[in-house]
Structure 1
Amino acid sequence: MKKTNWFLLVLMLTLTFGQTAFANDNLPDKGIFDLWNYQEVIDVKLTFDLDEVFNDRRGEEDYPAEINFKDETGTKQDWQIKISTRGNFRRQKCNETPPLKLNFKKGDLRAAGLADFDDFKLVTHCIDDYQAAKELLLKEYLTYRMFNQLTDISYRVQLVNITYEDSQTGKRKKQMGFLIEDTAQLRARIGADKIEELRIVEQEKYELEYTRLVGMFQYLIGNTDWGITHSKNIKYVEKDQKVLPVPYDFDFAGLVDAPYLLMASRFGQTSRFDRVYLGFEQQENELGEAIEMLQAHKEDMYRTVQNMKMLKRSSREEMIAYLDTYFENAEGIRFTENWY
């Protein structure tokens, strides 16, 4: 790749992908996510009937719960909400604490002077070893934060130390997790509209520069558990009559290296280091701007990993080493033919 003036490139790409190009001038009112999102990790207590909820593997019922936390001013917040189990893979595989969806009452939010963004995913990991589960969760959290470094068109996330309290017995258990921003707030934040249903559409209907960035980021992190046209771990929104495929759910990425990671043999993958590009464009010269975007933000992404002191040093070093294997061969992209 030719030498590049990285300062000018970062400035140009920020205008293309960042807040200036895609933000909404009329930002939405503060939502409850903003009450959480003031420091790296906050303490949250969830009180509900643990046996009733955690034994529900179908995820078809909503259950009453209470959530308690302190906001930035130290004021205690108590909310009556509904919860349900979520996540097809993790809901079935988690023996004790499957991931949850938290649903606030819109009327309660409005009464508190908050925007009515009410629907949040709580991500947890459920392997038996507590420390290993924490490491895995932090690596997926950092993957979200890395994508935040590249573009505002991305889900914000908030780390939480969770205390589950059984409403029947008073017994408690603790776990780390992270909350994902409500899609409605993401849309409001970037000035996008909801897409009720997306059928397979022509590439030209997508915002292609953003779509290429998504594809290259997934390539960087070694993720094959996604798909643009078949709604695999993608949420679609629309801005200026163009489709934006916003990615989520990165636990199957090679960067995260979950113990349940499966190789995508249909793409010839035999190890997590076998990256495969699964975006639209299958010519490297069409991806130049997205590739340069990753290069321009390389140090930002590395710093995000290195600053996560809750993650063991060895795990941080492994993540950096994995990213190095991309940047050392950034022009050797491996394509697959017409997979989409």
Structure 2
Amino acid sequence: MRKSILLSVLFLFAFWSEGVSQEIEKLFDSEVPISMKMSFSIKEIKSKTNDSTYMDSEISVQTSSGSWETFPFEIRTRGNFRLANCYYPPMRIKLKKGEAKGTIFQGNRSLKLVLPCSKTKFADSFLGKEYLAYQLFEQVTPYTFDTRLVKVEFTNLDDKKGGAVVLLGILIEDDDEVAKRFDGEILTKKIPPSIMEDSATVRHDLFQMMIGNTDWSGLYQHNQKVMLVGEKTIIPLAYDFDMTGLVNPPYGQVNSAVGIEKITDRMFRGFCRDPALVQTIRKEFLAKESKIFQTIELNKQYFSEADAKWVNNFIKEFYDILKNDKLFQQKVLESCRKADGTYSF
């Protein structure tokens, strides 16, 4: 009798414990921004860290109950252009081993953190539009990096007189974690675009045209990762959307070799594919038009009213091209890149 009671108690405890673990919020399961607190020296993180060197720090996160929980993180700088040109450096943050279990960071111990570039009044608005680009990409393809907005109460230890400032930020999923979601593998060697999966690649390339992005390269995997799914399916994964016409930041610039004068000049940089396939993907984009604009509407709270108008007009211009056979032929089908990287026109 006692044995059966004991077994029943153990069973109920195990069932309760499983239920508790299932209730733990996962980092990317919600679109509600997370409140965080960070405090470090910008000068120190820029001078003492790099792609392989971290420094110890702490990050406090507000829980769903409103209380604050502090975690031991390691942080470092990353990137190139924004690291050299922005006040707030782009970072990689990594929760120390063993500290993530049972927390919101379980399964996402290593993350990228993007903060606004500058201290100007409208810096958050540019960051909000960059986050929008990730949300728009999710409407186009399942093969994306998960993201979540954060509101960071940041104290720069270099500023002895100033207090904390609240910044909008983006947490971006680690490369290995996105690969794990698809039972795939991130490839580190250069992969010719010609051997990437056709449909996924055309969706990627049309999306980049939609947001006015020329700051990427399929040949050199610039601002693009490639993921192997199964034995031979290779998928492009886009990221880093700040230097786009959609975001249109003050520091925006284009490579003179691309052939446009400013980042708001939209062009198609994809390689030539079967025109019938490209037309099929074109129809996919057209069918998703309402979802695209709904996504803009849902996220316009994160940028200014003027920027919301700009974003809607900019995306509308893309759809004007898709809806016009002559323009689509001219700006996409006849403007694709040949195998050697040169353009057809």
Q: What range is the shorter-chain TM-score in?
A: 0.7 to 0.9
Letter of the aligned partner of 1:214 in structure 2?
H
**1:63 paired residue among 55, 71, 85:** 55
RMSD: 2.8
Letter of the aligned partner of 1:53 in structure 2?
I
Aligned residues of 1:45 and 1:163 also touching (Cα < 8 A) = yes
Aligned residues of 2:186 and 2:225 also touching (Cα < 8 A) = no
Q: Which runs of 5+ in 1 are unaligned?
A: 1-28
Q: Measure how far apart 1:286 and its partner are.
A: 3.5
Where does residue 186 of structure 2 map in the other structure?
A: 194
Q: 2-side partners of 1:64 and 1:57: how far apart?
A: 10
**2:295 paired residue among 291, 297, 304:** 304
**1:281 paired residue among 262, 272, 287:** 272
Per the normalisation by structure 2, the TM-score is 0.80
Relative contact order (alpha carbons < 8 A, sep ≥ 6): 1 or 2 greater? 1
**2:220 paired residue among 212, 217, 230:** 230
**1:110 paired residue among 80, 97, 101:** 101
Q: 1-side partners of 2:263 and 2:85: how far apart?
A: 22
Residues 151-186 of structure 1: CA deviation (Å, up to 9, x unaligned): 221012111111123569695333221111122221
Where does residue 173 of structure 1 map in the other structure?
A: 165
Aligned residues of 1:144 and 1:157 also touching (Cα < 8 A) = yes
Structure 1 residues 135 and 33 mapped into 2: Cα distance closer, same or farther (>3 Å)? farther
Where does residue 127 of structure 2 map in the other structure?
A: 137
Q: 1-side partners of 2:271 and 2:86: how far apart?
A: 34
Letter of the aligned partner of 2:44 in structure 1?
E
Aligned residues of 2:26 and 2:105 also touching (Cα < 8 A) = no
Structure 1 residues 57 and 106 mapped into 2: Cα distance closer, same or farther (>3 Å)? closer
Aligned residues of 1:38 and 1:72 also touching (Cα < 8 A) = no
Counterparts of residues 193-272 of structure 1 (less than 5 Å): 193-195=185-187, 197-201=188-192, 203-204=194-195, 206-241=196-231, 242-272=233-263
Residues 118-163 of structure 1: CA deviation (Å, up to 9, x unaligned): 21111122234222x1111111110110001122210121111111
Per the normalisation by structure 1, the TM-score is 0.81
What count of residue pairs does the alignment treat as equivalent? 308
**1:156 paired residue among 146, 163, 171:** 146
Structure 1 SS opposite 2:177: helix
Structure 1 residues 126 and 33 mapped into 2: Cα distance closer, same or farther (>3 Å)? farther
Where does residue 5 of structure 2 map in the other structure?
A: none
Q: Which runs of 5+ in 2 are unaligned?
A: 1-20, 323-327
Aligned residues of 1:57 and 1:91 also touching (Cα < 8 A) = no
Deviates more, 1:208-217 or 1:39-48: 39-48
Q: 2-side partners of 1:201 and 1:268: how far apart?
A: 22
